[in-house]
Structure 1
Amino acid sequence: MPEDKKKKKIKGDEVALIAKIDIDQASMPLEEIEGEMPVLPLRNMIIFPEIVMPVAIGRRSTLELVKSAYKRKVPVILATQKDAMVEEPDLNDLYPLGVVGRIVRILELPGGTTNALIHTCGPKVKLDSITSSDPYLVGTATPVEENNVTPRSNEFKAIMSTCFDVMKKLHDSMEELGNDFLMALRDMEGDAVRINFICSNFPLEITSKYELLKHDSIKDRAIHLIGYLNEQLEIARLKQNIQMRTREELDKQQREYFLQQQLKNIQDELGNGAESEIDNLRAQGKKKQWSKEVAEIFEKELTKLERINPQSPDYNVQYSYLQNLLALPWNVYTPQSFNIKSAEKTLNHDHYGLEKVKERILEHLAVLKLKGDMKSPILCLYGPPGVGKTSLGRSIASALKRKYVRMSLGGVHDEAEIRGHRKTYIGAMPGRIIKSLIKAGSSNPVIILDEIDKLGASHQGDPSSAMLEVLDPEQNATFHDNYIDIDYDLSNVMFIATANNLGSIPAPLLDRMELIEVSGYITEEKIEIAKRHLIPKAMEANGLTKDNIKLSKGAIEFIIENYTRESGVRELEKKINKVMRRTAYNIALGKDIATGELKAEDIPSCLGPVEYSRDKYQGNEYAGVVTGLAWTAVGGEILFVETSLSRGKGSRLTLTGNLGDVMKESAMLALEYLKAHNDLLNIPDEVFENWNIHIHVPEGAIPKDGPSAGITMVTSLASALTRRKVKNRLAMTGEITLRGKVLPVGGIKEKILAAKRAGIEEIVLCKENKKDIDNIPEIYLKGLTFHYVSDIREVLDIALTDEVVTNAPKLTIPETKKETDNN
């Protein structure tokens, strides 16, 4: 039997059963109400006295109460809950007034539900207390006297007649009231019973029903009931008026719909066959998790597509737009991993070093784990080429268990590449951001904005300006693509931009990103990267195994020092691949290949002659030659500053070595300081007037600039002018001021390692650079002694020895000058 027919039959059985019960039977004696009785809490219903009514049983405790009361034939107190959502009500959760009744029958309905047929044969009571709640509520109540005697006056007859007339009008206009309601009302005897039956069964608010229950006189209850019924009748009339107006609008829409259907049928007869495509789009749209506003726009655009002839060019434009709209991952998110230890393990496995970047990602993951929801950060990794900025983005996506998309911005000069074109244009398409989301299939991917510093402006707009909205956490929640023309939430996307040069990025765009420097790798780090990543990758790419070739640590270091000059490891990877290809070539020729490790001396046979040579410390045999430390884009280097003197008038200063403006200024500062403080080194004033000074920095083809050679130039000049030797195996770096102060400089880590490779044992630094030394692992500082200074005098005291160089020119002053001075 169908489910709806079963329900109909059960409802008819209930009405028949209610009709058989003698409603006019005598009331329950008051002595039966004394003492404790079970309390049956009702939800969203109030039962009035002398009524038979079915009650749905939902709670397990209530079911146990009903079965117990039915079996023991004891009365129960029927009290209504103030809040239907409370599962375990107490005295404060129940309305004070209720009624007493008996369980007439328990009905087991299909689907496992249970109904209890209750006859309220007892009086109205006031609930005094709840004495027990296990296994169900038990309490005490006091009977409330109620005047149920029906008046025989004409006034009361008029009241009852009015009540039934209003009920009949409501029955005609309210579908909730079935025919069973009027039939049951007609068969009842007694005006009081009829009034209570209407109060119990008519769909009024619980508060209104409770107000009716509080009336002790049946006449007062009937008068107030008429007021509520008239109010409902007025609401029903308003509903009918609204429905009439709506029906007229629907008739118009239906007419248009029928015409459209006829048009589609005609098109189908003509062989268009577009209906299936539209139905397919509509079916896909119902499965999307988009908002109500987007659903309305989609339906509007789909309706527009239905009206377009499939042979028209506009049909394909509209169809493509709807396909892109469906392809977007509306409210589809990839579940994230909040296992910080696992994420840290993934980052360490994929990349060696880069501690600052890893810490920032783990911090973001920790906050996300605690808060549960936050705006994704906009990170910008900047540094020299080949240090792993782009590949780091893939590792971040893997650590967060998010989808990964790389978006190359190098050479993009059209704003429409970011924001998309208007869909009305021929060949219009969404921007790269929307395309990346479609490709990822998720609204929270990791998107790498590669080479963001290479964006270029043209007459087609400035794409870097379009990126301002994308990379602003306060604005990208409503990112507007010109093609989609609907706001899309990008706040859950984790954007990671990469750049080589921050100077070419506009300031407003730079301000929206959190900058993280990815500095170049030192030799020790490159060796580890080669062993862990580059060599296994190259072996697999060239079909080799560990049995075919092994590279010793010395061989790797030899390649790094003599065949590469870079901050990253891209060139190193090429050289390692070249070694692997040479080995594969020899194996393919059937040559006998030694299976032992390749040593440093074996590398030239694979890579040819040494391509680069690093400067080594050259000793302190000459006055005026001082070792400085410099930072370059390919790492740290040692730098020699040479000063020579020649006789001449006018104290001419010559600077050579392809020096930048800042470095030239440092040389002039150094000379001016020594002129002003010549008494510190016992240099006669006449020396500066009769000797020309030439400062040279070797490797003149390489441009050099920056203030960090300031103290090196002072020391070089002082050594040349005094002929005193510079301390053996000493290097220095620091900026100077005209007052003789030493200022801090950058690139300390790279400079320290360059000094160590060159055989330097002592280094002079500014005191403020001590914090940089503290951040360098101890293993890299082994064998080095640091001198922290704040004034040039301290530098000269440390650097210059008392030993005079014999092969330096002796600074003599012309006799004529001396005689003039004596005179």
Structure 2
Amino acid sequence: MTEPISVPVLFVTEPVLLPGMVVPLALDDAARAAVDAAQAHNDGKLLVAPRLEDRYPSFGVIASIVQIGRVPGGGQAVVVKGEHRAQIGSGTTGPGSALWVEVTEVDEPTITDETKALAAEYKKLVLAMLQRREAWQLIDAVNKMSDPSDLADTSGYASWLTEVQKRQLLETPDVNERLQTLIDWTAEHIAETEVSEKIAEDVRTGMDKQQKEFLLRQQLAAIRKELGEDEPDGADDYRTRVEQAELPDNVREAAMREVGKLERSSDQSPETGWIRTWLDTVLDLPWNTTTDDNTDIAGAREILDADHHGLDDVKDRIVEYLAVRARRAQRGLQVVGGRGSGAVMVLAGPPGVGKTSLGESVARALGRKFVRVALGGVRDEAEIRGHRRTYVGALPGRIVRAIGEAGSMNPVVLLDEIDKVGSDFRGDPAAALLEVLDPAQNHTFRDHYLDLDLDLSDVVFLATANVIENIPSALLDRMELVTIDGYTEDDKVAIARDYLLPRQRERAALEESEVSVTDEALREIAADYTREPGVRQFERMLAKMMRKVATNLAAEKATAPVTVEKSDLVDYLGRPRFTPESEERTAVPGVATGLAVTGMGGDVLFIEANSTDSDGKPGLQLTGQLGDVMKESAQIALSYVRAHADSLGVDPEALNRTIHVHVPAGAVPKDGPSAGVTMTTALVSMATGRKVRADVGMTGEVTLNGRVLPIGGLKQKLLAAQRNGLKTIFIPARNESDLDDVPAEVLDALEVKPMTDVAEIVAQALEPAEQAVSQAA
């Protein structure tokens, strides 16, 4: 460093002066004194240093006075040029009233290769900044600079650096450190500038596009106006469409209110899109469109009989509906829109009995449009009632959409799988269906999206369900229940011969002259290959058979015509899946055959009882995933047997053990009251050692006094008994009236015995004892 020198000092708030800079400075009294002292005693040299509030400055710039004058406002000013960076020492005295300090000039640093590399990098960034601003004169000046320190000190002119940053540069004598700091700051600023410019460009482009679209839209409107054409998507077009549409008065008033809102709203408003979508939905609905019903009662019945075998209950109900409608029309009574004039029915039965396909046949018989609404797994109430229009992506509910899809106000709407509707935090769709399916209310059904009354009273609603118990009671109360319990073996053969076999022949590209199946083969398939209440699996078996026939004909392994006999089924379908097992299962004491109803229809249920030594402590153990009702039935049955041991021929000591009651297929949940008599019979069989007859099945609820109480699902249970080869069935006496619904061929194949006392069932169900009453081991 050089020797210290004394110079007057001029403190400035801004700007920060760096070596090489020429700046004007306003003069106050202190600054005037420093300038006068510099001119009079120091050859016009003075120190310019930043004024700091928190500390005394450590560095300044020795500057020379270039000119003294006045600023445009009239005040005095001085133009100074920075020359050397100097380190400020202690204060000293000097002539005049100015403040003098001792300073030491900072030596110029040695230029190294690192310094040159940093200078080149910084120059590149500075030139990039200046090119963005198109400052061509400054670009030339920067290009001419070769000294790294001078290049770094030009940052004093940089508008993107703050005063604090510039003071930091002033107080950094090392040129390498100064250049590195400037490179970091400048690169960061360039990155921020690029992002800001991109955002500004995007905003400007978007605004330009909106302005362009607005201008073009205004020009297009003016051109259409001159040509006398209406704008297709404008509010005027909606007003015309509403005025010309055939709408009910209340709907027209609501639509005109929305058209008024559309006319007053801006095209950029999101509400405009909502209103247009709502108006399009309303205008697309068939408010006053209906189809004429078929008044030919005999013809409608022929259509139903041609499409489905049996199902007389639902066919009779549809024919009755047509007959009433025809008589009301003849007498000039209200037919369309009358309260409760529509029909609401639920077809309940196991899978595969034709519930869904029956809806299409009903529509054809009535001469109406058909729409299917799948409800399985629906958990959102808005699926039925629609969404509020304020929600993004709002839509009307499925009922309104079905009406729009049908194109008429009196279609046949099939609500498929209504027993599989769920509920969660989004609401209860089953509760929303109450208004839809209530004949006394659905003439004013209100969808949340439309917010208008929709008349559903002339719609024929058909619902399907597998399990009636899964339908909420309030909903079931609003519908007519028509049960389809399944088909008998004769029914299945007739259905296969008249419907299934022709359809599968056609799908396999076979002619009737090329392949035929005997009735004995069809009966064997129904009995031993597909024990089901419906015919879905039956049709799959026929499809498999037709594919094999087609394959054999193509491979020349067979020649037409092919006749499938009963003996050929093993070759086409494999071995039978079902064989009679009642005789095998009841070959030991303690096993009784009961009848049950599941979601798949009727079925047989084997109940087993056994006992183990319990050291004189009697107990009851239940297995087979039984529900609470079946557990109670087992306890009641055991209590009854213990209380009436003498009359039943049971040694009381045989029951003072741990009694184990098991219902096989433990992975399947089981519940219901109809197993009481079966459990009682199994317990007596176990205790006496007498086997239960293999051809006997039974159903009924039992009381502690041995009374046999009625049960449900009798028809499905008897169909299951026939399918499984049982011959004698014990039922509650109070269910005898239900036998009217059972097909005659089923009753001919079974000996159905109504009973009132479980002791009578036990006496007739057990095989005769070879000796006196034996005790259970």
TM-score (norm 2): 0.63
Partner of 2:31: none
Rounded Cα–Cα distance in structure 1 between residues aligned with 2:518 and 2:587? 37
Amino acid of the structure 2 residue aligned with 1:598? V
Partner of 1:258: none
Unaligned runs of 5+ in 2: 1-217, 330-334
Change (3 A) 1:596 1:688: same
Change (3 A) 1:720 1:316: closer
Partner of 2:153: none
Change (3 A) 1:564 1:309: same
**SS in structure 2 at match of 1:786:** strand
Partner of 2:410: 444
Partner of 2:632: 665
Is 1:390 matched up with 2:356? Answer: yes
CA contact (8 A) 2:516 2:564 kept: yes
Amino acid of the structure 2 residue aligned with 1:275? E
Which of 524, 539, 546 lines up with 1:580 in the alignment? 546
**SS in structure 2 at match of 1:477:** helix
- Give, in angstroms, the shift of residue 562 of structure 1: 3.9
Amino acid of the structure 2 residue aligned with 1:672? S
**SS in structure 2 at match of 1:497:** strand
- Give, in angstroms, the shift of residue 312 of structure 1: 6.8
Which of 331, 337, 356 lines up with 2:288 in the alignment? 331
Amino acid of the structure 2 residue aligned with 1:729? D
Amino acid of the structure 2 residue aligned with 1:544? L
Which of 552, 556, 560 lines up with 2:518 in the alignment? 552
Is 1:634 matched up with 2:600? Answer: yes
Is 1:360 matched up with 2:340? Answer: no
Which of 320, 328, 337 lines up with 1:371 in the alignment? 328
Change (3 A) 1:273 1:319: farther
- Give, in angstroms, the shift of residue 297 of structure 1: 4.1
Rounded Cα–Cα distance in structure 2 between residues aligned with 1:700 and 1:353? 35
**SS in structure 2 at match of 1:546:** coil
**CA deviation map 1:587-609 (0-9, x unaligned):** 33343245242123323333334
- Give, in angstroms, the shift of residue 313 of structure 1: 6.1
Change (3 A) 1:518 1:585: same
Partner of 1:676: 643
Which of 696, 709, 719 lines up with 1:743 in the alignment? 709
Rounded Cα–Cα distance in structure 2 between residues aligned with 1:460 and 1:731? 46
Task: Quote the sequence identity (%).
Answer: 44
Which of 598, 604, 607 lines up with 2:573 in the alignment? 607
Rounded Cα–Cα distance in structure 1 between residues aligned with 2:373 and 2:664? 43
CA contact (8 A) 2:603 2:720 kept: yes
Which of 412, 435, 446 lines up with 2:401 in the alignment? 435
Matches within 5 A, 1:499-510: 499-510=465-476
Larger radius of gyration: 2
Amino acid of the structure 2 residue aligned with 1:453? D
Partner of 2:433: 467
Rounded Cα–Cα distance in structure 1 between residues aligned with 2:270 and 2:658? 83
Unaligned runs of 5+ in 1: 1-261, 813-823
**CA deviation map 1:330-378 (0-9, x unaligned):** 2221111122222222222212222222222222222222334352122
Amino acid of the structure 2 residue aligned with 1:336? D
**SS in structure 1 at match of 2:769:** strand
Partner of 1:480: 446
- Give, in angstroms, the shift of residue 283 of structure 1: 5.8
Rounded Cα–Cα distance in structure 2 between residues aligned with 1:748 and 1:447? 30
- Give, in angstroms, the shift of residue 699 of structure 1: 4.9
- Give, in angstroms, the shift of residue 782 of structure 1: 1.9
**CA deviation map 1:629-685 (0-9, x unaligned):** 333443444444444455553244444455444334333322222221222145444
TM-score (norm 1): 0.60
Change (3 A) 1:758 1:437: closer
Partner of 2:483: 517
**SS in structure 1 at match of 2:373:** strand
Rounded Cα–Cα distance in structure 2 between residues aligned with 1:452 and 1:272? 54
- Give, in angstroms, the shift of residue 287 of structure 1: 4.8
Matches within 5 A, 1:142-291: 266=222, 268=224, 274-275=230-231, 284-285=241-242, 287-291=244-248
Is 1:400 matched up with 2:357? Answer: no
Amino acid of the structure 1 residue aligned with 2:376? G
**CA deviation map 1:406-441 (0-9, x unaligned):** 122233333333333444655443332222222211
Change (3 A) 1:358 1:267: same
- Give, in angstroms, the shift of residue 444 of structure 1: 1.0
**CA deviation map 1:179-216 (0-9, x unaligned):** xxxxxxxxxxxxxxxxxxxxxxxxxxxxxxxxxxxxxx
**SS in structure 2 at match of 1:803:** coil
Change (3 A) 1:415 1:362: same
Is 1:346 matched up with 2:288? Answer: no
**SS in structure 2 at match of 1:381:** strand
CA contact (8 A) 1:623 1:805 kept: no
Rounded Cα–Cα distance in structure 1 between residues aligned with 2:366 and 2:770? 64
Rounded Cα–Cα distance in structure 1 between residues aligned with 2:424 and 2:543? 40
CA contact (8 A) 1:619 1:729 kept: no
**SS in structure 2 at match of 1:495:** strand
- Give, in angstroms, the shift of residue 390 of structure 1: 1.7
Number of residue equivalences: 549
**SS in structure 2 at match of 1:745:** coil
- Give, in angstroms, the shift of residue 477 of structure 1: 1.9
Change (3 A) 1:692 1:460: closer
Is 1:568 matched up with 2:534? Answer: yes
Rounded Cα–Cα distance in structure 2 between residues aligned with 1:301 and 1:548? 65
CA contact (8 A) 1:272 1:310 kept: no
